[in-house]
């Protein structure tokens, strides 16, 4: 049992690193070293623990941060590079997949309704989710893919 808890702590350490250093050039081998695991074992155990791959988790965090930057007026290109993405095409495709809107369309929307909401609540309510299904509006008017009603 304690070995499982130790492994979960190490996985959490890698996940926390992704949360902190999302704009850095992180890859699975570097994250596996953070968790003191082989790359394959880390990828397998991370997916079992968090129901998504390390890459998917990192990209979701990056898109989450990019939404904030776009709401604050950064261009799509600036937001893409600010969150650590190196390909505008891949960033736009993933953004559209998770948010249900292109980055440009999302940026051009009115975000006044979000301004009065504390950032921690905005982050939770507008968190991108990849679970399939059609995008739906959250309580803050944010599109969420497959979010529960």
Tens of pLDDT, residue by residue over 98-145, are 999 999 999 998 877 666 666 665 555 555 655 454 444 443 444 444
What pLDDT, on a 0 to 100 scale, did the predictor assign at position 143? 45
With a cut of 90, say whether residue 46 has pLDDT above it.
Answer: yes
How many residues are given for the chain? 149
What pLDDT, on a 0 to 100 scale, did the predictor assign at position 120? 61
What pLDDT, on a 0 to 100 scale, did the predictor assign at position 129? 59
The distance from CA 63 to its chain's CA centroid, rounded to whole angstroms, is: 5
Q: Kind and range of the H or E element at 26? A: none
Q: How far is it, in rounded angstroms, from Cα 96 to Cα 80?
A: 13
Residue in 119, 107, 113 with CA at minimum distance from that of residue 72: 107
pLDDT digits (tens, 9 = 90+) for 67-99: 999 999 999 999 999 999 999 999 999 999 999
Q: How far is it, in rounded angstroms, from Cα 55 to Cα 63?
A: 12
Residue in 30, 38, 32, 86 with CA at minimum distance from that of residue 59: 86
pLDDT digits (tens, 9 = 90+) for 50-71: 999 999 999 999 999 999 999 9
Residue in 57, 79, 55, 56 with CA at minimum distance from that of residue 68: 79
The burial class, CB within 10 Å (0-12 / 13-18 / 19+), for 72 is exposed
**Other Cβ atoms within 10 Å of 100 Cβ, number:** 21
Per DSSP, the three-state class of 83 is coil
What pLDDT, on a 0 to 100 scale, did the predictor assign at position 2? 64
């Amino acid at each position: 049992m304690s070995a499982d808890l130790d492994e979960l702590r190490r996985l959490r350490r890698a996940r926390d690193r992704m949360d902190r250093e999302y704009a850095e050039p992180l890859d699975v081998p570097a994250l596996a070293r953070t968790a003191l695991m082989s790359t394959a074992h880390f990828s397998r155990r991370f997916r079992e623990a968090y129901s998504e791959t390390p890459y998917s988790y990192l990209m979701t965090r990056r898109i989450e941060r990019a939404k904030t930057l776009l709401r604050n007026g950064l261009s799509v290109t600036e937001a893409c590079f600010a969150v650590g993405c190196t390909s505008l095409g891949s960033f736009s495709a993933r953004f559209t997949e998770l948010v249900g809107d292109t980055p440009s369309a999302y940026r051009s929307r009115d975000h006044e309704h979000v301004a009065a909401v504390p950032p921690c609540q905005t982050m939770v309510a507008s968190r991108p989710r990849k679970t399939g299904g059609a995008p739906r509006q959250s309580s803050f008017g944010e599109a969420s893919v497959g979010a529960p009603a």
